[in-house]
Amino acid sequence: MTTKGDIFVPVDALAKIASSNEVHGKLVLRYVASDEIFVVHGVETSRGVRRQVDIAREYHALRAGNGSYEGRWIESPNGALHVVHAELRRRPGAMMTPADFKELSGVRLDAGMKTLIVVTHDAGVSADLRAGGVETYAGWHLTREGATPASIAIEPATHGLSQLEGRWPLSELSDMNIAVVGCGSIGSVAAEALAGYGVGSLQLIDPDRLQWHNLVRHSLDRGSVGRSKAIALAESLTQRWQRKSYFAHDLDVVRDAGVFRALTSDADLVLCTADGIAPRRVVSHVARRAKIPAIVACVLDGGAIGEVLRLRPTPRFGCLLCVRAHMEEQGAIDAEADQELAYGTGTSHLPMTAVPSDLKFVGVLAAKAAVATLLESRFGDAAQRLPSEHAVIGLRPAGDLSAPFDVNHAADVVWRSIPAPRPECVTCNP
Ligand SMILES: [Zn+2]
């Protein structure tokens, strides 16, 4: 039998060990040969009573093992044992004699011809020792020759976003609700990034189904072909982030503008990645009326540049139409007409010219702009202040466009302000 193999201990195994009145007992482990790991699947909680460890279904790899390997758990060994463990780990190949292991663990074990996998727990390891690399849980491979330290992975009581508690404004963001219009290549990545920033509620809006030609640049995989992009994305995010507040809306913001308007009344921000002039105009108009900011993101000029535009409902900044009218006066390319061609992100008829990872770059930047906008405006977080309102991102720039699209370098992000509302604009001056 192998003596390689990290030991993975699910939190339920720890709970079962903690519930025992004994100070040591048997473990049942499975070996996952493809990954060379041992996983604790059973715990003896009292003499002769073995209890199955609960491992959630989504942990495919941890549940994949087979075979039944015997191990032991030992609670509260001599305080020196884990110090020795840390020392042995620094000396590859080093080993503790069986007699020493027996003395320090307090348990007499005979591995026989096999290797016993032993997990020891010493809750008394001081903070100073922990800082020096001594762990409260230690793994061992024990044979008749001696005990060698094994790597051990302990499932913490809480993991996921809560690990960021105290270092990132999680509670503020968990109260935020963002409507994501367009769940395509940029939108699906932006939604994933918003979830990763800890935004509590997402309204995922898209009328389309995932098709084969979308796969190359979409965050969803083959299993979602044929499904509503919004529904499949909501399910994927729910699975990934273990939150039940990602909602799918299989609707078109132009055709179903009334429903969309109702959705935005509860939203704190709208992030729009939809292609086409009409949906982007609807988002700009409806968000302004709802007095919430909108972030509009796209790629232009066949994927040569990206754009993230922040539209804030204040007298200082105009709506999408005001911004575009100003740009037209400046002689810039018509970004909205470019959207209508949809050749940046591709359709089944037109080739996709934007590179998948360039679209992701734009999607994550759009999500960052959305979260930073909320943190700065709602919570006064000065560290989240954006440079300005309009970002142009160099993806594969030819350097042949006029301002504000005149970026010349890949990965360059140039921020500029946007003009005030035009006096005649009906969106900005209701
Ligand atoms: Zn306007």
Confidence of residue 392 (pLDDT cuts 50, 70, 90): very high
CATH, domain range 6-154: 3.40.140
Residue whose C-alpha is closest to residue 181's, from 214, 209, 204, 199: 204
Dihedral (CA of 299, 305, 311, 315) sign: negative
* pLDDT for res 348: 57
User: In the Cβ-directed half-sphere of 93, how many Cα atoms lie within 13 Å?
Assistant: 0
Q: Does domain 166-416 have CATH number 3.60.20.30?
A: no
pLDDT at 313: 97
Model confidence pLDDT, tens digit, residues 362-377: 999 999 999 999 999 9
pLDDT in tens, 65-108: 888 899 999 999 999 999 999 999 999 889 999 999 999 999 99
Cα 420 to ligand 1 centroid, rounded to whole Å: 8
Measure 415 CA to ligand 1 centroid, in angstroms. Answer: 20
Dist. CA 424–CA 16, nearest whole Å: 70
pLDDT band at residue 2 using 50, 70 and 90 as cut-offs: very low
pLDDT mean across residues, the chain: 93
Of the pLDDT bands very low, low, confident and very high (cuts 50, 70, 90), residue 380 is: very high
Expressed in angstroms and rounded, the spacing between residue 177 Cα and the centre of ligand 1 is 24
Average pLDDT, integer, range 303-309:
96
Sheet containing 390-394: order of strands: 246-249, 201-205, 177-181, 269-272, 294-300, 305-311, 390-394, 413-416
Q: How far is the CA of 59 from the centre of ligand 1 (A)?
A: 50
Q: Is 203 helix (H, G, I), strand (E, B) or coil?
A: strand
Dihedral of alpha carbons 15, 20, 21, 27, sign:
negative
Residue 335: what pLDDT? 84
What is the structure's pLDDT at 343? 56
Confidence of residue 4 (pLDDT cuts 50, 70, 90): low
Residues 363 and 190 sit within 8 Å (Cβ to Cβ): yes
CA 429–ligand 1 middle distance (angstroms): 7
Q: At 119, which amino acid appears?
A: V
pLDDT tens digits for range 191-216: 999 999 999 999 999 999 999 999 99
Pairwise CA distance, residues 324 & 280, whole Å: 12
**DSSP states along 161-173:** GGGGTTTS-HHHH
**pLDDT of amino acid 111:** 86
Q: Evaluate if residue 346 carries a pLDDT over 80.
A: no
Q: What is the whole-number distance in angstroms between the Cα of residue 250 and the centre of ligand 1?
A: 28
How far is ligand 1, taken at its centre, from the CA of residue 422, in Å? 6
The single-letter code of the amino acid at 102 is K
| pLDDT for position 1 | 39
The CA 110 to ligand 1 mean position distance, Å, reads 80
CA distance 120 to 89: 15
pLDDT in tens, 35-66: 999 999 999 999 989 999 999 998 999 999 88
Asked if residue 188 lies in contact with residue 210, where contact means CB atoms within 8 angstroms, the answer is no
Confidence (pLDDT) at 323: 96
Token output for 246: 């990602």
CA 263 / ligand 1 centre spacing (Å): 22
Q: How many A from CA of 175 to the centre of ligand 1?
A: 29
Task: Give the distance (Å) from ligand 1 centre to CA of residue 317.
Answer: 8
Contact predicate 203/300, CB 8 Å: no
Q: How far is the CA of 292 from the centre of ligand 1 (A)?
A: 14
The pLDDT confidence band at residue 337, using thresholds 50, 70 and 90, is: confident
Q: Write a three-state SS string for 286-318.
A: HHHHCCCCEEEEEEEHHHCEEEEEEECCCCCCC
- Domain ranges in the chain? 6-154, 166-416
- The rounded Å distance from CA 418 to ligand 1 centre is 11
Identify the burial level of 302 via C-beta atoms within 10 angstroms of its C-beta, where 0-12 means exposed, 13-18 middle and 19 or more buried. middle
pLDDT at 339 over 80: no
Least confident of 225-229, 274-278, 382-386: 274-278
Start-end of H helices in 76-197? 80-89, 98-105, 127-131, 170-174, 185-197
